[in-house]
Amino acid sequence: MTTSTDVRATPAPERQKRRHNPITWVQRGGLTTLLFLLPLLIIFGVFSWSPIVQAVIMSFQKTNLVTPPIFVGWDNFVAVFNDPLFWTAVRNTAYFAFLAILIGYPVPLVVAVLMSEVRRFKGLFSVLAYLPVVILPVVSVLLWKIFYDAGPTGVFNTILGWFHIPPQPWIQDAATAMPSLVLQATWAGAGGTIIIYLAAMTSVAPELYDAAEVDGASLWAKIWHVTLPQLRGILFITFILQIIATAQVFLQPYLFTGGGPANSTTTILLLIYQYAFTNSLGGAYGEATALSLMLAVFLAVLSIVYFRLTARWSDQ
Amino acid sequence: MTTTVPAQEVQVTEPLPDSGVPGKRPRRRPRAAEAEDRHILSAADWRRPRVRITTNVLHVILLILLVLVGLFPLLWLFKSGITPTQDTLTNPLALFPNGVAWDNVAKAWNDVHIGDFFFNTIAMAAGEWAVQLIVATTAGFALSVLRPKYGRYLAGLVLATLFVPAVVLLVPLYLTILHPPLIGHSLINTFWAVWLPAGASAFNVLLVMRFFDSLPREIFEAARTDGAGTFRLFWSIVLPMSKPILGVVSVFAINAAWADFLWPNLVLADIHIQPLSVRLPQIQSSTDLGVYLAALSIATLIPVVIFLIFQRTFLRGGGLGGAVKG
Amino acid sequence: MKSVKPRRLGSKVVALGLVTAASVAMLSACSSDNGGSSDGKVNLVVAPVLPGATEDALTTLATRVKEFEKKNPDIHVKAIEYQWTASTFAAELAGGTLPDVFNVPFTDSKTLANNGQLADITTPFKQTSTADKWNKTVLNVATGDNGKVYGIPWGPYAMALSYNRDIFKQAGLDPDKPPTTLDEIQADAKTISEKVPGVAGYMQMTKDSTGGWNLATATQALGGRLETTGSDGKVTVKTDNDQTKQALSWLQKMRWQDNSMGSNFLWDWSGINQGFASGKIAMYMSGSDVVGSLMQANGFDQSKYGVTTFPVDSSNSKAGILSGGNVDVVNVKDTPEQIAAAVKWIDFYRTQPQVNESDAVTLAKSNQAGKQAVNAPTLPLFDKATWQQYQTWIKPYANIPADNLKPFNDGIFSQTIVPEPPAHTQDLYAALDAVVQAVLTDKNADVDTLLKGVDTKVQALIDADAKK
């Protein structure tokens, strides 16, 4: 990044002459600047900053949309903690994140390492890997919902039948529902991560590999001691990004199972949605915002701790 | 969205070394090619038959897996879109045992009106793209080039929203759309409800800011001394120089708009303006399976074709988008 | 910013003002088309069909709208596809995006009326020709506690057992002799799953609060109650009662012993209709009038449709069948002219065909032409005599074979109608969804614990109300 000279570095005498009155301000272009900032101020003000503040306020209120909201203190937070479904949702979300990391974190790395060595047709590999990402997420889920039909003539069950494996319940059984969701989510998202890793790998300086070979490093050693450490930065970042994203998973539970069977795929986001938008005749907006704030705080703390830890590891 | 994705420098491949023979264009000699492309395996490694064979075998396996995993579902979708429903239900992996049902596609187009919802999706994406571009460029210009005194605080406020997960905004934003300030009535069931909030993307603003920061100040000074006003500076100098970053922001914006589900599902209850992502799940239960698959196929075909044509752009900028989605 | 030339103030301020004004104007201008009067006509937006209605249904609707506008040249009607959902209703009301006329289920109309969220239509209602003929119980669901009328009921139905006559024949069962007890349903389901592979013999809804709704039906059919009201008016939730457990055990047996319920268990209302229409489910618990929707949204071939009463335990005096229905209501924000016009529309579209022969015949003809259900089984709005008279009027145009409907139409009048659980009904149903899903997907589901959990949860909601 080129460093830029600070345009505001005015010489001292002119500074002292400056008076704070509206006319000079406008003459110096203050109004123009404000004009340019108008879209940002309006859009962020109305659709970002104000709602954030509102969220905090609403979490301490009881709102229906007819009468003015009532201040209820910590009641909403207490209600959320006392809701058994909350603990289920936390467990489910953690489970989803865990599975997603388990399947979705190493696989793109392995594939990227393999793909980086491809001499010819690299484009073909990249296109194939990225293809699932291009499909509309909604379409992807709907397609996989059809794949997951639990009857013996469902697509996946038919394939399993070729290998004499009995038909699986997929999303129809609490034990297999969450893994099924994670499988589809990984399929849909891995391609993007693969491309990122590939790009990062091209920035590894060849001299490092040369140096390693001079030291007599084997293939494995090269990967372990050169590739991975060089990728460390991006690996750390994609890890936390993946956790933050999976903590907010909504699409899969909503479209695949609606939170079932028996609440086994109800995630925190789905619960927030249910609090706000599926309670009969007017939602529990206070509890919804309370829960969303709790999630936000948790993710913020997690990120801070994570960056502290990884900073220490990077230094070692 | 909470992202702190590092800016990816565009990879510039090193120029080929001169072949040393005058008048002869350097060919892609294997040695030089390996020096460029080599990652882990060195030229020496490649010469060892064991390594070469193993790697090639692994690559073939990987290719087969990628085809099965990445391509097969799509191919199945397209095939089933033109297969009679009964065949798909009873024998999903057979290849047209009873002929082709082209009328699935016709019905998807005429009865399900896929075309209309496609248009809605495009309209939605176009509006979001425009709003995001306007906000990001004007704000980036003001904060990075014009540099008002309060600029730092404003940028800080914008950065702060990066750390707030979108879920926090869900309910209050919904209520804001119901009762927007100044305007007398709700924006529900209008595209504005989707366009306007999309502009509040801190990521875009920061991207553009950083890019503008990297532009040489001398150009601005020169333009100023030439008598260019601020607007001229913005429109005729800065914007044309920003094409690369505008491209990146556009890819993100359109990607995000295309894929968005939760928010449009919430605010666009009126069927006539619903995009594909909202409409398709709703009609699943009232649409014949074959027709439904044809509709899904149409909804998939166009982005796939666009992707295949514009591969490079996607694979450079879109990779980051993939990570953002998680 | 050290610009050299002094700027012209005026142009900047003007620009700023213009931009702001233009934006506000642009956004204000796109108001949703919401009635009021223009050029002397009253505009109504009505919502009589569900999203995803077939082309035929929409054509039929358009014809009816034209008829109405001819009779009432001062009213302009725009008909839209619309699905009312309890969850977004409050927001839509606040946001002003509700149609002028829409329909809500029986379970919610009274609550909405009492909350002041529906228009009071008492005056124009009293001017309709049928105002005094109403069955008091039926009209009660649309009446507020203050005695005023807030809606016009239509299409009352009872829960029933729908079945696919074709699949019955394939399984060697007589479609004219459908099962009459829970045990017979179980037996028939078993036969079907054995003889016709890939078909679920019996299924009921499990998702989006319909699971609880179906379970409530089964419970009450056995004589049980999910909620009881004490003499002091306090409502107690007791889902872990014998009849509910019996109903769940019945499902358990069919699922795990007989394996006659297929492999997919997450069904909401529209999903199970589609499952039935596509021949994946042979029998299911449904509203008695669902064939209308099956034809409207799923294009189902009605000659295959059969319906009978859902078995009620005749030995138990408390046993009865759950009923439901729809109420057409008017947007509380409408003007008096719109409300009067709306009542005229509702009366024309829903009520007149029930009492006026020529209207009944017109409606039947247009339904028939549009391949919509002419004679879907419903309950009497007024009295049995009127209902029977109506049946004779539409008989020549009936497009569902009367024999297919006979088991239901014959049996329904000997069943007692029992009301749904009174307090936090939808919340109760939503909580029971998980129980039904658990029973169907987990062989070792601990029904007692699950039901007790529902009791605690819903009781807390009811008690919280009492505190307010």
Domain span at A210: 75-315
> Residue A250 in contact with residue A269, Cβ under 8 Å?
yes
Compare all CA atoms of chain A with the CA of B61 and give the residue at the minimum distance. Answer: A114
What is the arithmetic mean of pLDDT over A50-75? 87
Question: Is the residue at A10 inside a domain?
Answer: no
Assess whether C132 and C239 both reside in one domain.
no
- Cα–Cα distance measured from residue B114 to residue B98, given in angstroms and rounded to the nearest whole number: 26
Mean pLDDT on C349-370: 87
The tens digit of pLDDT for each residue in B140-168 reads 998 888 888 888 899 899 988 988 888 88
Q: What pLDDT is recorded for position B235?
A: 86
Round to whole Å and give the CA distance between C144 and C115.
9
List of domains in chain B = 41-106 (no CATH), 114-282 (1.10.3720.10)
Cβ-contact A40, B135 below 8 angstroms: yes
Pairwise CA distance, residues C273 & C255, whole Å: 20
C302 and C218 housed in the same domain = yes
**C53 within domain boundaries:** yes
Which candidate in A131, A240, A251, A303 is best for mutational testing of the B interface (most B CBs within 10 A)? A131
Interface test with B, best of C11, C14, C26, C27 (most B CBs within 10 A): C27
How far, CA to CA in Å, does C383 sit from each of C33, C43, C375, C394?
39, 34, 17, 17
The answer to whether residue C8 sits within a structural domain is no
Q: What is the mean pLDDT of residues C121-149?
A: 89
Q: Is the pLDDT of residue C192 over 70?
A: yes
Q: What is the dihedral of CA C14, C16, C17, C23, to 10 degrees?
A: 140
**With 60 as the cut, is the pLDDT of residue B278 above it?**
yes
Specify whether C148 is located in the same domain as C243: no
**Do C89 and C206 fall within a single domain?**
no
Q: Which of A7, A36, A272 sits opposite B138 (nearest CB)?
A: A36
How much of chain C, in percent, has pLDDT values that exceed 90? Answer: 52
Q: What is the mean pLDDT of residues C445-466?
A: 89
Query: Which residues, numbered 2 to 31 in chain B, qualify as contacts with chain C under a Cβ-Cβ cut-off of 8 Å?
Result: none
Separation between Cα atoms, residue A133 and residue A193, nearest integer Å: 10
At residue A23, what is the residue type?
A: I
Q: Are residues C149 and C174 in the same domain?
A: no
Specify the pLDDT at position C240: 93
Tokens describing residue B218: 């001398």
**Is residue C16 in a domain?**
no
**pLDDT tens profile C387-419:** 899 999 999 999 999 999 999 998 988 888 888
DSSP-based three-state secondary structure for A79: helix
Whole-angstrom distance, CA of residue A263 vs CA of residue C192: 31
Domain membership flag for residue C174: yes
Q: Is there a single domain that holds both residue C308 and residue C444? A: yes
Can you tell me the distance from the alpha carbon of A21 to that of C9, in angstroms, rounded to the nearest whole number?
Answer: 14
Minimum distance, in Å, between the CA of residue A111 and any CA atom of chain B: 8
Give yes or no: residues C234 and C306 share one domain. Answer: yes
C-alpha C98/C-alpha C36 separation (Å) is 14
How near does any CA of chain A get to the CA of C407, in Å? 31
CB atoms within 10 A of CB B192: 19
- Which neighbouring-strand residues pair with C161? C285, C308
In a domain, A36, yes or no: no
Of B45, B139, B315, the CB nearest to A219: B45
What burial class does residue A13 get, using C-beta atoms within 10 Å of its C-beta: 0-12 exposed, 13-18 middle, 19+ buried? exposed
Instruction: Look at residue A20 and tell me if it is in a domain.
Output: no
pLDDT at residue C35, as a whole number = 45
A64 in a structural domain: no
Burial class of A41 by CB neighbour count within 10 A (0 to 12, 13 to 18, 19+): middle
In the stretch 250-309 of chain C, residues with CB closer than 8 A to chain A read: 262-266, 268, 280
Residue A149 predicted with pLDDT over 60:
yes
Average pLDDT of the residues in B70-92:
89
Domain assignment present for C1: no
What is the model's pLDDT at position B12?
Answer: 34
In angstroms, the CA C81 to CA C86 distance is 17
* Residues in chain B within 8 Å Cβ distance of A108: none
CATH number of residue A266's parent domain: 1.10.3720.10
- Do C234 and C109 belong together in one domain? no
CA dist C159 and C147 (Å) reads 28
Kindly report the nearest CA distance between residue A217 and chain C, in angstroms: 53
> pLDDT: is B317 or A63 the higher one?
A63
Claim to verify: residue C282 and residue C346 sit in the same structural domain: no
Closest to B106 measured CA to CA, from B291, B300, B233, B255 = B291
Give the residue from C397, C419, C436 where a domain finishes. C397
Which tens digits make up the pLDDT trace of C47-76?
888 776 777 778 888 888 999 999 999 999
Inside any domain, residue A282: yes
What span, in angstroms and rounded, lies between the C-alpha atoms of C412 and C288? 10
CA distances to A36, A208, B184, B201 from A40, rounded to whole Å, are 8, 45, 22, 10
| More confident call, A143 vs C107 | A143
Position B27 scores a pLDDT of: 43
Whole-angstrom distance, CA of residue B69 vs CA of residue A172: 23
Which residues lie closer than 8 Å to C371 by C-beta, 6 or more apart?
A: C54, C56, C295, C399
If you measure CA to CA, which chain C residue comes closest to B192? C27
Indicate whether C182 and C242 sit together in one domain. yes
Residue A52 lies in a domain: no
Which chain C residues are within 8 Å of A257, Cβ to Cβ?
Answer: 266
Q: What is the pLDDT of residue B183?
A: 81
Helix, strand, or coil (residue C322): strand
What average pLDDT does chain B have?
Answer: 80
Determine contact, residues B231/C11, Cβ cutoff 8 Å: no
The residue of chain A nearest to residue C443, with distances taken between CA atoms, is A173
Nearest CA in chain A to B216: A4
Residues of B in contact with A128 (CB under 8 A): 63, 66-67, 70-71
Cβ atoms of A245 and B325 within 8 Å: the answer is: yes
Chain C: nearest CA to B16, how far in angstroms?
A: 47
Q: What's the confidence (pLDDT) of residue B322?
A: 41
pLDDT of residue A114: 87
Neighbours of chain B (3+ CB pairs under 8 A): A, C
Residue A172 pLDDT > 90, yes or no? yes
Q: What percent of chain C has pLDDT over 70?
A: 90
User: Does C36 touch chain B if contact means CB atoms closer than 8 Å?
Assistant: no
Q: CB contacts < 8 Å between B and C, how many?
A: 79
Task: Return d(Cα C397, Cα B201) in angstroms, integer.
Answer: 60
How far apart are the CA of C398 and the nearest CA of chain A, in angstroms? 37
CB B202 within 8 A of CB B158: yes
Compare all CA atoms of chain C with the CA of A167 and give the residue at the minimum distance: C263
The residue range of the domain holding C199 is 158-323+403-467
Output Rg (C-alpha) for chain A, integer angstroms.
Answer: 26
C-alpha span between B227 and B249 (Å, rounded): 30
- Give the helix, strand, coil percentages of chain B, each rounded to 5: 70, 0, 30
Task: Give the C-alpha separation, A222 to C419, whole Å.
Answer: 74
pLDDT band at A2 (very low <50, low <70, confident <90, very high): very low
| Selected residue with higher pLDDT from C448 and C41 | C448
Partners of residue C51 in chain B, C-beta under 8 Å: 271, 282-283, 286
| Structure tokens given for A175 | 């034990």
Q: Which residue in A has a C-alpha nearest to residue C423's C-alpha?
A: A280
Rounded to an integer, the average pLDDT of B186-191 is: 86
In this complex, which chains have at least 3 CB pairs below 8 Å with chain C?
A, B
In a domain, A124, yes or no: yes
Residue A120 contacts by C-beta under 8 Å, 6 or more apart in sequence?
none
- Chain B: residue nearest C89 by CA? B269
Shared domain check, C337 and C271: no
- How many domains is chain C built from? 2
Query: Are B188 and C92 in contact (CB < 8 Å)?
Result: yes
By Cβ distance, the residue of B174, B282, B285 closest to C273 is B285
pTM of the entire predicted model: 0.84
- Quick: pLDDT tens for A189-212: 898 889 888 888 887 777 888 887
Q: Which of A151, A262, A278 sits opposite C264 (nearest CB)?
A: A151
Taking the Cβ of residue A211 and every Cβ of chain B, the question of whether any pair is shorter than 8 Å is answered with no
d(CA A68, CA A74): 18
Q: Which residue of C has its CA nearest to B184?
A: C28
Specify if A62 maps to a domain. Answer: no
The total number of structural domains in chain A stands at 1
Question: Tell me: the pLDDT tens digits for C278-308?
Answer: 999 999 999 999 998 898 888 889 999 999 9
Instruction: Report residue A3 as tokens.
Output: 């460093």
Q: Side chain identity at A251, as an amino acid letter?
A: L
- pLDDT value for C39: 62
Looking at residue A295, what is its pLDDT? 94
Burial class (CB in 10 A: 0-12, 13-18, 19+), C95: buried
Assess whether C316 and C419 both reside in one domain. yes
Chain A contact present for C10, CB below 8 A: no
In chain A, what are the helix, strand and coil shares in percent, each to the nearest 5? 75, 0, 25
